[in-house]
Each structure stands twice: as structure tokens, then as C-alpha cells.
Amino acid sequence: MPLRRTFLQIRRDAKKFDPGPLAKFVRAHHSRALDQYLLLHAVASGGNYDVARPAKVWARALSLGAGASAVGAVSKNWAWLERQDLISRRRVGRLSSVTLFKEDGSGEAYVHPGKVHEPYFHVPYAFWLDGWHLKLDLAAKAVLLIALSLSDDFILPLEHANSWYGLSSDTLGRGLVRLRRDDLVQVRRHRRKAPLAPEGFTWEHHYTLKPPFGPRGRRKARGT
């Protein structure tokens, strides 16, 4: 499924970024709302950009259960997503029809990013089919989405977590640790010159996603 990079970060110029809506999910601890939003994209982004399904169907697909509390959780998630200007809702008979907005939280009408040549990345369906939406915590899901938007052999300096993505360095660090623990990312240590460091060098960690999420088949050009 496609997801615009503006969901992660909004580029203002070559050196300045604003955090995308992903940071709001993390700050609000809305892991299940993130799962529901991503699942909506998987269902709706290839058609008319809207979908009407019973709340019990969404609850079952998200492994929330079948009781009243699960149905209530689905409704609360839709309401929260609507307040973030990521979706809109309307009644269609007895169902709630949910329509996608653009991933940047602007409230603008959704159109497939490939049709308007806007940068996007893909989230493999294995995220749901293999149960990773249940296995990973919110920090790991956030880092996974960021990693999916990057080339193989990427770096994620903890000191840039906030300025690049609106996340804390702790969140970024915990997410990377979890992905490594679940064998979803491989790490390559690169020795980098640092004349002011005590040893004259530092170690830089480079990451590449492993199956089912990578490798992505793209490698960042040297010097960029």
C-alpha cells in the first residue's frame, strides 16, 4: 500500500523539516489508531479512496475482538483520526463511510501520490498478514515506517529524531532496538573519521530492513 512521505515529515526547505502526523500518533500513544489508519489505506487507496464496512469487520481485521468494547474502540479511533484531518466520515445507511484525506494532515482531498508525482513509499501487506501490527510496539512501528521510506543502508542518528520526525531520541532508540530484536533489520558499523573525538574516529550505524519488509533494493548514493 502507498503512503506519502509527508506522513512522516514535511520538508520546508533543504535543511528544515516539520514533523508529519506520525508524531501525533506517537505522542498520543495511539498504536491501534495507527494500525486502523494504515489498514484503511490498504483498503481504500486503490479505489475511490473511501470504504464503508461494519465496525465489527474493522475490529476483527485489527484483532481487537468482537465485543462492544472492540466496536467502541474502532469508533473512537475514527473520531481521533477525523480530528487530525486525516479522514472524514458520513453515514451510508447503517454504516459509517470513511474517506481518506492526504497523509500530511492538511484535510485536502486524497489522490494516489503516484498520479501526482509526489514522493511515497510502500507498506507491505505482511504488516497485517504476518501479525506484525500485534507483535510490534508503537516505537517499533514508527521506526519501521521511517525505515520503509529510506534506502537500504540508511542511518538514523538519535540526535536528529526530533528535528527530522518530531520523535524523541528515546522513541527512536527503542524502536531500533525492537526491530533488531525481532530480526527485522541488519546493522553495519562504519568507521568514520572524527578528528575531535578521543580516538580520532566514531562508529556510525547503517541499517537495512530484512524480510518481509526489505531489503528495499535501493541504496543511497555516496556523498548524499
Nearest to 166, CA basis, from 8, 13, 5, 45? 8
pLDDT (0 to 100) of residue 204:
80
Distance CA 26, CA 82 (A): 17
Q: Which strand (E) or helix (H) includes residue 185?
A: strand 185-193
Rounded to 10 deg, the angle between the 138-148 and 31-44 helix axes is: 40
The model's pLDDT over 101-129, given as tens digits with 9 standing for 90+, comes to: 999 999 999 999 999 999 999 999 999 99
Distance CA 105, CA 9 (A): 11
User: Is domain 2-123 classified as CATH 3.30.410.10?
Assistant: no
pLDDT at 193 over 80: no
In terms of phi and psi (left: phi > 0; alpha: psi -120 to 50; beta: otherwise), the region of 200 is: left
pLDDT at 48 over 90: no
% of the chain beyond a pLDDT of 90 = 74
Rounded to 10 deg, the angle between the 169-181 and 138-148 helix axes is: 90
Distance CA 38, CA 124 (A): 11
Residue ranges of domains in the chain: 2-123, 151-224
DSSP sequence for 143-180: HHHHHHTS-BSB---GGGHHHHHS--HHHHHHHHHHHH
pLDDT at 223 over 50: no
* Average pLDDT score over the chain: 90
pLDDT at 96 over 80: yes
% of the chain beyond a pLDDT of 70 = 92
Q: Give the sign of the dihedral formed by CA 30, CA 85, CA 76, CA 49.
A: negative
Distance CA 191, CA 193 (A): 7
pLDDT at 141 over 80: yes
pLDDT at 224 over 50: no
As a whole number, mean pLDDT of residues 178-198 equals 83
